[in-house]
């Protein structure tokens, strides 16, 4: 084994954080290369520090990134450039110049045909991918609808309408809750949250502190719905929507916007 075990357990976290200076970092790198126990501790520290990323404000990538990524996968598959490039690298093997006069136009025509075929194939592949995605989206919507219908049909499912509180902006929301399965569906239309704020939905249990059901996605007053999973078997006294700092809070801190008691 190279070197001593780090003297303090936090050394692994400081390494994962990137805070150690070069000499301290080198000592740990050398040691863990030959010490399985410390390598495991370092892997755990890497995970612990990695989740600090969740403190970053949520930023979704533009849809173009995924499209470019998928195009990049296709581009690396065998395309016309690869085979053409290989053909161009092949030696002439002493063929006389008059053969070139015949072969070059043929090769050019062949290359052009290959490119046209490849482009056509690309177009068909894109159409097929679009169709496949449409079918999958419809299947997903169907599956979600099926879940909703099952939830609504269950005898022990509760439907709770939430009422706007005095002084709060107009909005409407409804919660469908099944205590046995811990399944909840939110259905509502809320105005956009103010800058740096999020709407958060809470289950207020018969006993104990409110349980977060998640941060709501608002779409400028357009009705939206979300399925949520909560702990099973929690009896609800009420449901409430509060306005919290962006990303939500572990417990409600902001004003109640809508509330609905469970009858």
The reply on whether position 59 binds another protein by CB under 8 A is: yes
- Residues 163, 258: contact at Cβ < 8 Å? yes
The reply on whether position 139 binds another protein by CB under 8 A is: yes
Of positions 2, 26, 37, 43, contacts another protein by CB under 8 A? 43
Strands (E) located in the chain: 157-164, 172-178, 183-189, 197-205, 211-215, 224-229, 236-245, 256-261
The reply on whether position 70 binds another protein by CB under 8 A is: yes
Which residues are within 8 A (CB) of 164 and not within 5 positions of it... i.e. 6 or more apart? 170, 171, 172, 257, 258
Environment class of 164 (CB within 10 Å of its CB; exposed 0-12, middle 13-18, buried 19+): middle
CA distances from 136 to 24, 86, 130, 132, 195 (A): 51, 39, 10, 6, 35
Of positions 191, 205, 214, 261, contacts another protein by CB under 8 A? 214
CA distances from 203 to 114, 116, 121, 184 (A): 62, 59, 53, 10
The reply on whether position 170 binds another protein by CB under 8 A is: no
Q: Which is nearer to another protein, 58 or 86 (CB)?
A: 58
Q: Which is nearer to another protein, 226 or 256 (CB)?
A: 226
The reply on whether position 50 binds another protein by CB under 8 A is: yes
The reply on whether position 232 binds another protein by CB under 8 A is: no
The reply on whether position 8 binds another protein by CB under 8 A is: yes
Of positions 108, 123, 127, 137, contacts another protein by CB under 8 A? 137
- Find the shortest distance in angstroms from Cβ 5 to another protein: 17
Length of the chain: 263
Tell me which residues touch another protein (CB under 8 A). 8, 10, 13-14, 17-22, 39-40, 43-44, 46-62, 64-66, 68-70, 72-73, 132, 136-137, 139-140, 143-144, 212, 214-215, 217, 226, 228-229, 247-250
């Amino acid at each position: 084994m190279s070197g001593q075990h780090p003297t303090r357990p936090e050394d692994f976290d400081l390494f994962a954080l990137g805070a150690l200076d070069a000499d301290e970092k080198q000592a740990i790198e050398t040691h863990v290369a030959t010490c399985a126990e410390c390598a495991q501790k370092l892997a755990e520290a890497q995970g612990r520090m990695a989740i600090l990323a969740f403190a970053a404000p949520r930023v979704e990538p533009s849809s173009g990134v995924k499209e470019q990524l998928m195009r990049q996968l296709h581009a690396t598959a065998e395309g016309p450039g690869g085979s053409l490039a290989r053909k161009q690298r092949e030696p002439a093997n002493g063929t006389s110049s008059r053969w070139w006069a015949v072969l070059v136009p043929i090769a050019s025509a062949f290359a052009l045909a290959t490119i046209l075929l490849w482009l056509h194939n690309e177009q068909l592949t894109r159409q097929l991918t679009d169709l496949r995605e449409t079918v999958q989206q419809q299947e997903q919507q169907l599956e979600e609808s099926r879940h909703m219908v099952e939830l609504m049909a269950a005898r022990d499912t509760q439907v709770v309408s939430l009422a706007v509180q005095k002084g709060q902006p107009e909005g409407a929301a409804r919660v469908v809750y099944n205590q046995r399965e811990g399944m909840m569906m939110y259905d509502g239309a809320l105005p956009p949250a103010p800058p740096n704020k999020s709407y958060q939905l809470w289950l207020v249990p018969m006993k104990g502190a409110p349980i977060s059901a998640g941060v709501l996605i608002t779409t400028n007053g357009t009705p939206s719905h979300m399925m949520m999973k909560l702990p099973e078997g929690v009896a609800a006294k009420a449901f409430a929507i509060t306005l919290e700092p962006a990303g939500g809070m572990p417990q409600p801190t902001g004003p109640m916007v809508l509330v609905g008691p469970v009858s």
